[in-house]
Amino acid sequence: MTHGILVYQQIKRLIERGALTSTPAIAPTQVQPSSLDLRLATRGYRVRSGFLPENVRVADRLEEISLYTFDLTDGAVLEKGHCYIVPLLERIAEPLPYLVRANPKSSTGRLDLFTRLLADRCGRFETVPPGYTGPLFLEIVPRSFPVRVRTGLSLCQIRFSEGSVSLTDDELRAEHERSPLLFDDKGLPLPTSKLRLDRGLMMGVAMRRDQDIQGPIGYVARRYTGIVDLAIENGHDTDQFFEPIHEPRTGNLIVEPEEFYIFASKERIRIPRHLAAEMVAYDVGIGELRTNYAGFFDNGFGGERGTRAVLEVRPHDVPFLLEDGQVFFKLDFFRTQEEPEVAYGDRRLSSHYQGQALKLSKHFRG
């Protein structure tokens, strides 16, 4: 067995041989260095609740719990706090030996859009077992803003893995010694002795301004806003949707329950061309604090000198004090089966967040 996740040219071969199909055909721009963007189909379902289709077809369950259906071809508004299921254009047409994992795209997470991939008779969200053939569906819950979506829009991405794909802490340490993975907030490689490793690479949250972060150190979503049209990039006024958070004098900030925040990582991360990574919440026993919604980093993210990670944060239960630099999340690194022909930041790709500091989704100006 080959261990690792598939990359650009391997995913393209799956599409070319018809293992992954779609009408209309899968576009070349959907293929990323080690992931594939999936697109919304033509019809959506407003449902009473989310569900896990462990023993049923998704379509059969939709017949039972749908409140109404709606057309997406000319666009439709998804209301804040409501749950929707939308079939995806892509389907798996041939049994594959790969475990399929899904993540929301970066822009999806930065809009506080909660999404989860569903597959027929599959008892886990965001996961499709090897050998599955059939349709794919996306559960969507807008948490902060009403959004306008339409057919062909990509809100999630999938990756294909085989065998043991995660790097151990010893392997991560060796990778960093060969070529740095993590840089401090001045852009200098972090000494190996300063790496914080615990089944992944730990990173902190920035609560102070520095050479990259000159303005606000974060944003919090406004409660009552207009609609974010996801087909319009760089066309929404930031101030209408987010309130800036300025550097606290003490370096500490209390975040409030059920508010949605955007922050930047303290350090900069670099993903080598032969690796990919996923941001995962770091369990410090603090109760409910959601620290990311979208966190897959394709090969090449960060370039040569590293790029900040952007954190989507939603506290639950109690207010929580954030301190500058405290460990807030970790990255799980994955080996890839080959080096991709195209890496993140390549001009052939639409790489919106290379070189970012603190950056909202691509839909907002600035």
Rounded average pLDDT over 263-281: 91
pLDDT band at residue 280 under the 50/70/90 scheme: confident
Can you give the residue range of the structural domain that contains 276? 169-335
* Separation between Cα atoms, residue 316 and residue 143, nearest integer Å: 13
Q: State whether 202 and 301 are in the same domain.
A: yes
Q: Is there a domain that residue 354 lies in? A: no
Kindly tell me if the per-residue pLDDT of 286 is higher than 60: no
Residue 262, beta-bridge partner list: 219, 312
Rounded average pLDDT over 139-155: 97
CB atoms within 10 A of CB 12: 18
Q: State whether 209 and 313 are in the same domain.
A: yes
Kindly tell me if the per-residue pLDDT of 79 is higher than 90: yes
Q: State whether 185 and 289 are in the same domain.
A: yes
Q: Is there a domain that residue 362 lies in? A: no
Q: Is there a domain that residue 366 lies in? A: no
Q: State whether 174 and 92 are in the same domain.
A: no
Q: Give the end of a domain, one of 131, 162, 193.
A: 162
Within 8 A by CB and 6+ apart from 196, the residues are 202, 327
pLDDT band at residue 354 under the 50/70/90 scheme: low
Q: Is there a domain that residue 87 lies in? A: yes
C-alpha dist (Å) from residue 253 to 92, 289, 315: 46, 15, 13
- In this predicted model, what pLDDT tens digit does every residue of 235-261 receive, in sequence order? 999 999 999 999 998 889 999 999 999
Q: Is there a domain that residue 8 lies in? A: yes
Q: Is there a domain that residue 364 lies in? A: no
Kindly tell me if the per-residue pLDDT of 320 is higher than 90: no
Kindly tell me if the per-residue pLDDT of 131 is higher than 60: yes
Q: State whether 127 and 254 are in the same domain.
A: no
- The pLDDT value recorded for residue 356 is 62
Q: What is the CATH number of the domain that holds 86?
A: 2.70.40.10
Q: Give the end of a domain, one of 115, 144, 162.
A: 162
Q: State whether 55 and 118 are in the same domain.
A: yes
Q: State whether 174 and 63 are in the same domain.
A: no
Phi, psi of 194 (to 5 degrees): -95, -5
Kindly tell me if the per-residue pLDDT of 1 is higher than 70: no
Q: State whether 147 and 175 are in the same domain.
A: no
Q: State whether 203 and 117 are in the same domain.
A: no
Q: State whether 118 and 215 are in the same domain.
A: no
- Sign of the alpha-carbon dihedral angle for 168, 173, 177, 179: positive
pLDDT band at residue 352 under the 50/70/90 scheme: low
Q: State whether 313 and 203 are in the same domain.
A: yes
53-67, 150-164, 342-356: least confidently modelled range: 342-356
Q: State whether 251 and 218 are in the same domain.
A: yes
Q: Is there a domain that residue 237 lies in? A: yes
pLDDT band at residue 50 under the 50/70/90 scheme: very high
- The pLDDT value recorded for residue 159 is 96
Q: Give the end of a domain, one of 144, 162, 180.
A: 162
Residue 299: is it exposed, middle or buried by C-beta count within 10 angstroms (0-12/13-18/19+)? buried
pLDDT band at residue 298 under the 50/70/90 scheme: very high
- The pLDDT value recorded for residue 236 is 95
Kindly tell me if the per-residue pLDDT of 287 is higher than 80: no
Q: Is there a domain that residue 316 lies in? A: yes
What does pLDDT average to over the chain? 91
Which residue reads 């991939």 in tokens? 117
C-alpha dist (Å) from residue 241 to 119, 145, 254, 360: 33, 8, 20, 11
- In this predicted model, what pLDDT tens digit does every residue of 153-188 receive, in sequence order? 999 999 999 999 999 999 999 999 999 999 988 889
- In this predicted model, what pLDDT tens digit does every residue of 21-31 receive, in sequence order? 999 999 999 99
Count of the separate structural domains present in the chain = 2
Kindly tell me if the per-residue pLDDT of 316 is higher than 90: no
- The pLDDT value recorded for residue 349 is 62
